[in-house]
Amino acid sequence: MRRPCQVFALLVSALLLPACHETRKHVREFDGASAFHYIETQMSFGPRIPGTEAHRKMVAWLDSLLRKRADTLIVQSWTHVTAAGDSLPLTNFIARFQPAATKRLLFLAHYDSRPRADSPTSTDSTKPVPGANDGGSGVALLLGVADVLKRVPPTVGVDLLFDDGEDYGDFVKTPDDVLMGSRYYAAHQVPGPQPLYAVLFDLIADKDLQIFEEGNSVVGAPEVVELVWNTAKDLGYAGTFVATPKHTLIDDHLELQKVGIRAIDVVDFDYPAWHTKDDTIDKVSGASLQIVGDVAVELVRRE
């Protein structure tokens, strides 16, 4: 998309460049309302905790949706034995668009739900996390991007990784029981070139959406942070994507950084319902998904 615009401008006049740019800006491909329905469907399954019926339904649903949308679907299945000795059936989905392209982008989101609502602010840590925003929003975003890429295929390769087992254990006491899907993906990479960069999306549908830069992203892949926040700014979303670091998180992007992938985390961590039983559908909105979805699609079209 970029090259014809430039050539056109060179041939005619620099004055036409804004017009050309303007034409692109008006194409809104991502549909926030239908992405919101993808959160509703996940909520109807119940918390998607590995080893439960809801998780099995989630796996079957993702499998059927992604087969209809992607050029190639890679399914990674394995069993993880937890520190407590439980065996968890885990599955990663890698939905590939233009699988032969050497220039590739990777977007990822975890789809599992946390078995215990153990936030320090939680009123009942025996309950699971419903995961409307935590897990649910990232999946909805990636599925919305898959719909867009099915309609108008990208000129670069795009991989959408739906990873499992991000949120199962305790991040301090049982670190092997979290980030399991991204660790498995990093250890079993798809043959071929690594992506130019990777963007992890989570907690991106909060009705009160404000996304600050994340500390480990700024340290590990500052140029990707700059690219994503600049893209948001170009779309008029500088008020939502605040170009200042705030929280520093242990998340799936770190497992990818360890194997040399320029991975960052796009996450609104100012979410009072985080890891509580109140992470429910009334806290999230299609309007917020629209903003982040527009940015994600623009990242693809910009290449």
- Map residue 283 onto helix, strand or coil: helix
Nearer to Zn ion, 136 or 195 (CB): 136
Q: How many angstroms separate the CA atoms of 288 and 204, rounded? A: 7
Per-residue exposure over 79-89, b if at least 16 CB sit within 10 Å of its own CB, e if not: ebebeeeeebe
Nearer to Zn ion, 32 or 138 (CB): 138
Q: Whose CA is closest to 299, among 241, 237, 244, 227?
A: 227
Q: How far is the CB of 115 from Zn ion (least distance, A)?
A: 11
Q: How far is the CB of 199 from Zn ion (least distance, A)?
A: 18
Give yes or no for residue 278 binding Zn ion (CB under 5 A): no
Number of residues that bind Zn ion (CB under 5 A): 2
Q: How far is the CB of 179 from Zn ion (least distance, A)?
A: 11
Q: For the beta carbon of residue 40, count every other beta carbon within 10 angstroms.
A: 13
Nearer to Zn ion, 90 or 156 (CB): 90
In DSSP notation, 164-200 reads --SSSS-TTT-GGGSSHHHHHHHHTPPSSPPPSEEEE
Q: Which stretch binds Zn ion (CB under 5 A): 50-58, 98-106, 130-138, 209-217?
A: 130-138
Q: Which stretch binds Zn ion (CB under 5 A): 57-65, 100-108, 131-139, 232-240?
A: 131-139
Nearer to Zn ion, 167 or 278 (CB): 167
- The two structure tokens encoding residue 31: 């549909």
Q: How many angstroms separate the CA atoms of 184 and 71, rounded? A: 22
Q: How far is the CB of 53 from Zn ion (least distance, A)?
A: 21
Nearer to Zn ion, 119 or 288 (CB): 119
Q: How far is the CB of 204 from Zn ion (least distance, A)?
A: 13
Q: How far is the CB of 155 from Zn ion (least distance, A)?
A: 34
Give yes or no for residue 252 binding Zn ion (CB under 5 A): no
Nearer to Zn ion, 159 or 167 (CB): 167
Site string (154-193) toward Zn ion, x via CB under 5 A: -------------x--------------------------
90, 50 Cβ separation under 8 angstroms: yes
Q: Whose CA is closest to 97, among 122, 61, 134, 71?
A: 71
- Map residue 213 onto helix, strand or coil: strand
Give yes or no for residue 134 binding Zn ion (CB under 5 A): yes
Q: Which stretch binds Zn ion (CB under 5 A): 128-136, 177-185, 215-223, 282-290?
A: 128-136
Binders of Zn ion in range 72-111 (CB under 5 A): none
82, 169 Cβ separation under 8 angstroms: yes
Nearer to Zn ion, 112 or 159 (CB): 112
Q: How far is the CB of 167 from Zn ion (least distance, A)?
A: 4
Q: What is the CA 6 to chain-centroid distance, rounded?
A: 31
Nearer to Zn ion, 58 or 297 (CB): 58
DSSP state of 15: G
| Burial (Cβ within 10 Å: 0-12, 13-18, ≥19) of residue 223 | exposed
Given the rule CB under 5 A, which residues bind Zn ion? 134, 167
